[in-house]
Structure 1
Amino acid sequence: MLGHHSRPLALAALAALALTGCGGSDDGAAAQGSSALAAKVGDTEFTVGDIQRSTRELTAFVAAQAQASGQQPQQLETSTVVTYLVQTPAVLDYAEQEGLEVPSAGAMRREIGSAVPDPSDTTVDFLRANAVASQLDESAQQELSQLLTETDAELSPRYASALGESPDWLEQPESQQQPGTGQPQTP
């Protein structure tokens, strides 16, 4: 079940969205992950499998870029990827409304093809949004940031922490267990 969050989705910095890289792919049903809904923004839905696959793909792409430039690869956390993916539809919508040039999906696939031979549509859309965000001037970045703060997202409790939230019904794990039961203590 998804929780509704009218939570600021402003790019923890537009610079974060302008991550200059992302991509990687696995084949087979096991690699696709769960079809359970992880997040929804407007009409765009992200499954747990989408999140997992994009995390792998983005990690592979960032690693390939780092290797090519002789730098250490940036570590991407799943929560970071969720934040980026939830913002992607708003960035692409903004670009369309403003008449900005958005790279085609085909161009993005060719660009990351050596690191991620068959990237998911979710990853490709993120990269398209990333390309738009990286070209915005300061005024446009501020305008987009404001738009992102107004974006409503529905997130499963598993990913709500990506936006700094935790459902109030979710119990926090306790570090100690009751003696002899092997079960965590309950309040």
Structure 2
Amino acid sequence: MVDAPISRFDSTRRKPPSRKPKVASAPFVAERRASPPRPAREFGELALRTTGVGLAVVSTAFAAYMISDVERRPQFAGLEHLAIYSRPTVIAAKRIQTQLADQRGPVDYTPVGSIGEPQSETGVPGFSLLSVRSGVALLQTPTAIVKVSPGDVVEGLGRVAALERHGEKWALVTAGGVIVGD
């Protein structure tokens, strides 16, 4: 039989490494090696790190100085318009308090006024607002139920000025008064 490759991949197979006879090694002699030169990249990184740490220290020191110097005001144009830097003195504050107390006189602690009674829901007797839809109100008068809108004239009330929402209720504003509905 012939030892021929069966496929194209058989020809590319690795052959086992050939064994070379061992040669006696040279005796151990200490050699002095020179240290490898440092690339410029390491120097650049060191400079960048040192600069970063230095800037961090300087900015922290500046912030500490600005915080600790309480009595110094910042110096820039328009400072007098900023109320956050105004510091009234104790003497000026006491002077203002005594002036105000002298002007007002003694305080009278007697209660005045009253709570009063709640206002009636309808401002005009005999009229009530039934409903409001699309800018048209359904109004009950002493004689009939009528539809009114702003600008109409109602007998006994006068001209309707507006339909307004007061909280959850509607109000009909007229020349004769305000009628609040449910």
| Structure 1 length-normalised TM | 0.15
| Greater strand fraction, Structure 1 or Structure 2 | 2
Q: If you compute each CA radius of gyration, which structure gives the higher value, 1 or 2?
A: 2
| Greater helix fraction, Structure 1 or Structure 2 | 1
Determine which structure has greater relative contact order: mean sequence separation of CA pairs < 8 Å that are 6+ residues apart, divided by chain length.
Answer: 1
| Structure 2 length-normalised TM | 0.15
